[in-house]
Amino acid sequence: MNDFFTDLDTDLHGTKKTPYISQNIEKPIQKPSPVRIEKNISIQKSLVERKIESRPSQNSLSTREKSPVTGNNRIQEVREQMMEAGVVVIVFKVDEKTKALLGHLKLETRGFVYPDEVREIHKMVIKKARASYEDTVKDIPDIEEKDLLKIIRRDLELFLVAKIERNPMIIPIIIYV
């Protein structure tokens, strides 16, 4: 064990290294030279200039928004939807063999409802989500999970737009037990 620490204290050439602390000598502070500072500043300025040049102008942004949906536009649309109407996450615990719901649904919302509306609207959302899940599984017992999630999402979107005139991002999650 002692050899292990000895090996750590020696460099590749076998000379023993001693830390500055054990010698009670302060580590020398190396001040950068003025030439080096100027070089760093000029590099930083050139990086900033490149970033500014690479940014699209306002005119190009408006043409980009009119173009077909790209990855960046989709991200921007999703963020705007979350900002305006919030997010709803619904977690279903499901028996893997029978596809029956186990226990209560877990509902998490952010930026979706006002504090005085929370209980009433959460109850309605949970009731609608449970009904949507059970009806879909009853009608199509061998439905794939991704299709089931799409149906639940669509049903809840229509329900929420009709009831409270908001269109939050809805994220249903199924956990098989």
Report the CATH number at residue 151. 3.10.20.580
Quick check: 50 pLDDT over 90? no
How many domains does the chain contain in total?
A: 1
Residue 42 included in any domain: no
Share of the chain above pLDDT 70, in %: 60
Q: What's the pTM value of the predicted model, to 2 decimals?
A: 0.57
Task: Give a yes or no: residue 13 inside a domain.
Answer: no
**How do 169-176 and 106-110 pair as beta strands?**
unpaired
Over 50: is that where the pLDDT of 63 sits? no
Residue 70, pLDDT score: 64
Residue type, 28: P
Instruction: Identify how many contiguous H helices and E strands the chain contains and give both numbers.
Output: 6, 3
Looking at residue 117, its pLDDT comes to: 85
- Evaluate whether 85 touches 94 at the Cβ level (below 8 Å): no
Residue 130 belongs to a domain:
yes
Distance CA 20, CA 22 (A): 6
SS3 state at 21: coil
Tokens standing for residue 123: 């109850």
Separation between Cα atoms, residue 97 and residue 100, nearest integer Å = 8
Q: Is residue 11 domain-resident? A: no
Does the residue 64 lie in any domain?
no
Q: Could you report how far apart the first and last alpha carbons of the chain are, in Å? A: 49
89 part of a folded domain: yes
Judge whether 5 lies within some domain: no
Give the separation between CA 35 and CA 44, rounded to whole angstroms: 14
Helix intervals (H) in 55-117: 58-66, 71-85
- What domain range includes position 129? 78-176
